[in-house]
Amino acid sequence: MSNTQQNNLSSKNTIGVLLVDDSAVIRGALSKILDTDPSISIVSSVSNGEMGIQSAKRYKPDIVILDIEMPVMDGLTALPEIMKASPNSKVIMFSSLTESGASFTLKALAAGAVECIVKPSSAQGVGEGSEFHRNMLNIIRNLCPDKATGGVSLKQPAATTASQPASVLSPDKPISLRQGLEVFRGKPSILAIGSSTGGPNALFEVIKSLKEIDIPVVLTQHMPATFTKILAEHITQQTGVEAFEASDGMRIENGKIYVAPGGLHMKIEKDAQGLFAQLDDGPAENFCKPSVEPMLRSVLNIFGNKTLGLILTGMGNDGIKGGKLLSECGGRLIAQDEATSVVWGMPGAVAKAGFCTDILPLNDIGPQVRKTILG
């Protein structure tokens, strides 16, 4: 353990991170990245899940970065034991960009991990100033904002990969709900959902209440390519509601869920035969690709105030512009509340802006959405 690590262990004002990965090279690269931020201290660095459990029990870290494939004990097996040993720790899965890696990661997210980070394809991809470097620090600091002092400012969005939005924090101000005659109270024609950090677990919870709904659902979750396909499969398996990763030209049907593919924006269009998905490889919006914004704009162009919007837990403020448009046309917008959000960035942005008709804890959102759709 370095002197920096030893000195920081006693500090309660830094973000304590536990590294669990069987590769000493990877752990070394991660350590170099984390050491560039004075807000972060590495409390322990170990090579397998069994050692990770013992370190979590001993150090009670704020953050655990957990590899999936390791000898002795893999990350998926270790995850519930780490959470039991240190219930307040937030676990980030460190995954390869493969179907098996994505599948294991989604299982880990369903089991309580809060975020996934994809391993870079080469050693050059983890250097200081790289997108991976900025994303790693941004995610950790957003997960522990009370301890994130110094280092990269959270108030200025850092450049990130398209699948990981930068944080944008706005000053605290009184939050008010939209009410009155201008809000459409009839049956919505479509449900549009945006989510990011902590999103998969929140989605599983909400969507399990949406069986037998008779309108389409479109969803943008910030995830890399490959992961969004596996997310759609897990939604179907865990909730019983049929979900698909959208492809270009795919027809949009009632009662089904369409997930924007990682690395592409998803827009909804309409022709004589009905609704269909249109994929767009345009620039990132709000540092995100896919972004909630193109999806919301396209839906509002078709359905206007008959759009029901839902913004769940996530970093940054993706969806803020679409939320404004939805508010201005009289549609309803629900945001997840701060207490149940892993990161109250996206939902907090639309809530603080006054665009929401409801701000609800996670367990209440699914029943409320179902009631709104089915009456």
Dump pLDDT digits (tens) for 33-43: 999 999 999 99
* Residues 58, 299: Cα–Cα separation, whole Å: 50
Residues 72 and 208 occupy one common structural domain: no
* Mean pLDDT to the nearest integer, 46-60: 97
* Mean pLDDT to the nearest integer, 209-226: 95
**Is residue 170 a part of any domain in this protein?**
no
Average pLDDT, the chain: 89
Model pLDDT, residue 170? 44
Model pLDDT, residue 35? 93
pLDDT band, very low/low/confident/very high, at 158 (cuts 50, 70, 90): very low
Model pLDDT, residue 174? 72
Model pLDDT, residue 149? 66
* Mean pLDDT to the nearest integer, 319-328: 96
339 or 127, higher pLDDT: 339
**Is residue 173 a part of any domain in this protein?**
no
**Is residue 218 a part of any domain in this protein?**
yes
Model pLDDT, residue 172? 58
**Is residue 181 a part of any domain in this protein?**
no
Residues 6+ apart with CB under 8 A from 11: 41
Which of 45, 103, 196, 341 is catalytic? The answer is: 196
Residues 212 and 300 occupy one common structural domain: yes
103 is catalytic: no
Could you give the number of structural domains in the chain? 2
* Mean pLDDT to the nearest integer, 177-199: 90
Model pLDDT, residue 284? 94
Predicted confidence (pLDDT) at residue 139 exceeds the cutoff of 70: yes
222 is catalytic: yes
Model pLDDT, residue 96? 83
Predicted confidence (pLDDT) at residue 56 exceeds the cutoff of 80: yes
**Is residue 156 a part of any domain in this protein?**
no
Residues 143 and 196 occupy one common structural domain: no
Model pLDDT, residue 200? 95
Give me the percent of the chain exceeding a pLDDT of 70.
Answer: 87
Model pLDDT, residue 11? 54
**Is residue 274 a part of any domain in this protein?**
yes
Domain extent at residue 44: 3-147
**Is residue 370 a part of any domain in this protein?**
yes
CATH number at residue 126: 3.40.50.2300
Residues 230 and 361 occupy one common structural domain: yes
* Residues 340, 111: Cα–Cα separation, whole Å: 16
Predicted confidence (pLDDT) at residue 167 exceeds the cutoff of 60: no
Model pLDDT, residue 65? 97
Q: Which of 132, 147, 162 is the last residue of a domain?
A: 147
Confirm whether pTM is higher than 0.85: yes
Which of 133, 222, 234, 265 is catalytic? The answer is: 222
CATH number at residue 264: 3.40.50.180
Model pLDDT, residue 181? 63
Model pLDDT, residue 176? 79
Structure confidence by residue, pLDDT tens digits, 270-290: 999 999 999 999 999 999 999
Which of 21, 318, 337, 358 is catalytic? The answer is: 318
For the ranges 5-9, 36-40, 116-120, 356-360, the lowest mean pLDDT is seen at: 5-9
Predicted confidence (pLDDT) at residue 9 exceeds the cutoff of 80: no
Model pLDDT, residue 127? 66
